[in-house]
């Protein structure tokens, strides 16, 4: 009753006795408030924003012990008082479309363009789509939905969110941040290669079309179907291949990982320009990056459609499409097709990198993240399928020109598929300069979106974990982070930098992030509990996830992730690049880099058990029990619901 009296006194006296450091807004609502869009008392002792009410309802204040209304002498109303901290409110997206484009830009990256088409034709063409869709429905999309819901409900980054879920697993957040740094060390170098190509495209004759350049060798052969006096042999190399390996990468100057050579100053300048663009796109937060993605996330689709139309009109394009889609149903009985499908959908949608948690944390509390998850994941999968047509129409054209099988032309995977095969095909088209410029612009923008997202995941995590230290120094922190990423990428800018990129891609990040996500699913589904998690979702959306989603989170998703982890252990990849076979010590080095991030999880568990007071059982129970309240002992927002007559 004292609280009610203070509220009424505040309302009557013009809020003159407001406590310092807080602000209270009173709002009287009638019985039909819920009909006007205000969600009140969604669950026991809960309010519309998901936080517990600070005082229980008593029968004397208008409720029975069962929560039913008691008739009173006058019209019964509900007084809702919102107490808001004077701390700066959490940043939010300017528009819903900013969020959607950011998520789509993050999920649709370079792997959609080069990895999916290659894996698809390697695993039976159209037959690969069946395991791909099954893995998406039962594994990828549920994980995607779970992370969006977690981030939106708890409004925290990948480190501080664990105190609301399962505190002893907080090391997962630190591991995610380290993995994101490792990815930034090599991923942006690929964009530096694309920028080098882009700058080289502003000339009438593209430099990778002729064999008369200083970097060319005697094996350089410019072979087309119209060149009747030129023959293609096993020792022949195309001008596009020599431009990529001998001019851009200069990999011929490095014998391997044991001797990387000097730093290429051209690539160093290109990477510096890339990181400059990244910094000024994310330094102010989602308000600025949300505007940049309107260009970087939509422009690639425009280019893809232009290239698809152009590719479909080339001679021999149908050969590539047939090769891409012809199903080989016998492949379904091979374990490799299911392993590749699971890994592809996981790395394509990108759960576990802290990005979805960060992006969703800036959403309004009642945003429909369920619909967002279905829409953005569908766009991602369809983009991968579309990219296959863009790539293989051109590969069919190349096969027609060389009088070779499509499989022979399409032997290269990864970046080589873009920087050698596709670059050469573009060079032999009419208006080659135009198509080269828009193609490499597309590659850069696909990469920029993912870099924005990956670094924003780290920034949000650190700012939420250390708000008093970093909240007002975001620009300086982002600058320091970008500088660390640039210095960490120096090894990838050497003559043997391509070997370093391949090492990071195969060993340092893949197994580690899958293991981290496996622990994340276990912590949420088994320790935090699907019942509690589904109640959280119901508070936000007004409906709880169905049995399908519960089953996926409890059993199918952990099995899905264990399947991928087991495949890595049972069939370790045999890595080669440009005829260089990675020796055994490089495999050990790669796994050591991966373990260096994952070690944060058990290390923090030990730290938490040692620093928590009580018996071993009490410390363990405290480690798996969500903490109540915010950082300072209470939630960021307190909404008090009481009844006034």
Q: Residue 224 — very low, low, confident or very high, per pLDDT cuts 50/70/90? A: low
Q: Is the pLDDT of residue 226 over 60?
A: no
Q: Residue 237 — very low, low, confident or very high, per pLDDT cuts 50/70/90? A: confident
Residues 6+ apart with CB under 8 A from 201: 433, 436, 437, 440
- Cα–Cα distance, 414 to 137 (Å, whole number): 26
pLDDT number for residue 33? 39
pLDDT number for residue 173? 92
- Cα–Cα distance, 360 to 376 (Å, whole number): 13
Q: Quote the tokens at residue 153.
A: 């409900």
Q: Is the pLDDT of residue 630 over 60?
A: no
Strands in 22-29's sheet, in edge-to-edge order, are 22-29, 77-85, 637-644
- Cα–Cα distance, 91 to 462 (Å, whole number): 15
Q: For residues 110 and 447, is the Cβ–Cβ distance under 8 A?
A: yes
Which segments of 155-285 does DSSP mark as H helices, in order?
A: 171-200, 239-242, 265-282
Tokens 């410029």, residue located? 437
Q: For residues 393 and 422, is the Cβ–Cβ distance under 8 A?
A: no
The whole-chain average pLDDT of the chain stands at 79
pLDDT number for residue 192? 93
Q: Is 224 helix (H, G, I), strand (E, B) or coil?
A: coil
Other Cβ atoms within 10 Å of 298 Cβ, number: 13
- pTM greater than 0.85 (yes/no): no
Q: What are the DSSP calls for 13-75, one per residue?
A: TTSTTPPTTEEEEEEEE-GGGGGGT-----STTB-TTSPBPSS---GGGTB-TTS-B---SS-
Q: Is the pLDDT of residue 122 over 70?
A: yes
Share of the chain above pLDDT 70, in %: 81
Q: Residue 43 — very low, low, confident or very high, per pLDDT cuts 50/70/90? A: very low
Q: Is the pLDDT of residue 317 over 90?
A: no
Beta strand segments in 360-519, E? none
**Most confident listed range (113-122, 329-338, 550-559, 582-591):** 550-559
- Cα–Cα distance, 325 to 378 (Å, whole number): 20
Mean pLDDT for 230-251 is 81
Q: Is the pLDDT of residue 77 over 60?
A: no
Q: 214 versus 6: which is more confidently predicted?
A: 214
Nearest of 309, 535, 284 to residue 431 by alpha carbon: 309
Q: Quote the tokens at residue 481.
A: 């982070």
pLDDT, one tens digit per residue, over 247-287 is 998 888 888 888 888 899 999 999 999 999 999 988 887 77
Q: Quote the tokens at residue 296.
A: 């970087």
Nearest of 432, 568, 448 to residue 509 by alpha carbon: 568
Q: 188 versus 645: which is more confidently predicted?
A: 188
Per-residue DSSP letter, 88: P
Q: How distant is the alpha carbon of residue 437 from its chain centre?
A: 27
Q: Is the pLDDT of residue 579 over 70?
A: yes
Beta bridge partners of 492: none
Lowest mean pLDDT among 194-208, 328-342, 532-546, 606-620: 328-342
Q: Is the pLDDT of residue 230 over 80?
A: no
Q: Is the pLDDT of residue 396 over 90?
A: no
pLDDT number for residue 92? 82
Residues 6+ apart with CB under 8 A from 311: 317, 389, 390, 393, 394, 397
Per-residue DSSP letter, 477: H
Q: For residues 256 and 580, is the Cβ–Cβ distance under 8 A?
A: yes
pLDDT number for residue 484? 94
pLDDT number for residue 205? 84
- Cα–Cα distance, 510 to 571 (Å, whole number): 14
Mean pLDDT for 330-341 is 80
pLDDT number for residue 34? 39
Q: Residue 24 — very low, low, confident or very high, per pLDDT cuts 50/70/90? A: very low
């Amino acid at each position: 009753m004292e609280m009610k009296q203070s509220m009424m006194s505040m309302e009557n006296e013009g809020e003159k006795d407001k406590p310092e450091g807080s602000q209270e807004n009173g709002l009287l609502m009638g019985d039909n408030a819920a009909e006007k869009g205000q969600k009140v008392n969604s669950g026991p002792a809960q309010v519309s924003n998901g936080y517990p009410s600070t005082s229980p309802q008593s029968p004397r204040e208008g409720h029975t012990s069962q929560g039913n209304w008691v008739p009173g002498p006058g019209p019964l109303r509900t007084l809702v008082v919102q107490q808001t901290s004077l701390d700066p409110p959490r940043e939010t997206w300017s528009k819903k479309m900013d969020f959607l484009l950011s998520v789509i830009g993050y999920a649709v990256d370079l792997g959609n363009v080069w990895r999916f088409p290659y894996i698809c034709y390697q695993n039976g063409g159209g037959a690969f789509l069946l395991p791909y869709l099954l893995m998406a429905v039962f594994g990828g999309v549920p994980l995607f939905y779970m992370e969006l819901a977690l981030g939106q409900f708890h409004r925290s980054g990948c480190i501080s969110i664990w105190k609301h879920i399962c505190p002893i697993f907080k090391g997962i957040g630190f591991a995610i941040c380290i993995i994101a740094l490792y990815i930034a060390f090599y991923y942006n170098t690929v964009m530096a290669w694309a920028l080098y190509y882009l700058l080289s495209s502003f000339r009438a004759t593209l430099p990778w079309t002729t064999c008369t350049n200083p970097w060319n060798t005697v094996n350089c052969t410019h072979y087309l179907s119209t060149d009747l006096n030129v023959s293609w042999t096993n020792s022949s190399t195309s001008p596009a291949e020599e431009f990529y390996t001998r001019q851009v990468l200069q990999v011929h100057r490095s014998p391997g990982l044991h001797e990387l050579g000097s730093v290429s100053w051209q690539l160093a300048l290109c990477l510096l320009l890339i990181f400059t663009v990244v910094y000024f796109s994310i330094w102010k937060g989602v308000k600025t990056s949300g505007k940049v993605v309107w260009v970087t996330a939509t422009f690639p689709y425009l280019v893809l459609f232009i290239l698809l139309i152009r590719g479909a009109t080339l001679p021999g394009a149908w050969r590539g499409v047939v090769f891409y889609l012809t199903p080989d149903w016998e492949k379904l009985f091979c374990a490799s097709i299911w392993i590749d499908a699971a890994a592809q959908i996981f790395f394509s949608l990108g759960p576990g990198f802290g990005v979805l948690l960060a992006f969703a944390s800036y959403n309004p509390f009642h945003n429909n993240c369920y619909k967002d998850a279905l829409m953005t994941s569908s766009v991602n999968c369809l983009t991968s399928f579309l990219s296959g047509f863009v790539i293989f129409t051109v590969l069919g054209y190349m096969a027609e020109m060389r009088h070779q099988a499509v499989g022979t032309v399409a032997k290269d995977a990864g970046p080589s598929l873009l920087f050698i095969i596709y670059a050469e095909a573009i060079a032999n088209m009419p208006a080659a300069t135009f198509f080269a410029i828009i193609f490499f612009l597309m590659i850069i923008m696909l990469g920029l979106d993912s870099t924005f997202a990956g670094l924003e995941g780290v920034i949000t995590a650190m700012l939420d974990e250390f708000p008093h230290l970093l909240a007002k120094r975001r620009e300086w922190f982002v600058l320091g982070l970008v500088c660390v990423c640039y210095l960490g990428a120096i090894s990838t800018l050497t003559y043997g930098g391509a070997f370093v990129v391949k090492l990071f891609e195969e060993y340092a990040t893949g197994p580690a992030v899958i293991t981290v996500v496996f622990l994340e699913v276990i912590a949420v589904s088994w320790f935090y509990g699907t019942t509690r998690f589904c109640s959280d979702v119901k508070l936000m959306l007004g409906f709880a996830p169905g049995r399908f989603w519960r089953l996926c989170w409890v059993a199918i998703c952990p099995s899905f992730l264990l399947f991928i982890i087991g495949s890595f252990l049972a069939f370790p990849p045999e890595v080669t690049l440009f005829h260089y076979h990675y020796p055994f010590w490089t495999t050990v080095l790669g796994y050591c880099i991966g373990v260096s991030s994952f070690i944060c999880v058990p290390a923090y568990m030990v730290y938490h058990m040692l620093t928590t007071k009580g018996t071993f059982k009490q410390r363990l129970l405290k480690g798996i029990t969500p903490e109540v309240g915010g950082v300072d002992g209470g939630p960021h927002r307190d909404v008090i619901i009481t009844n006034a007559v």
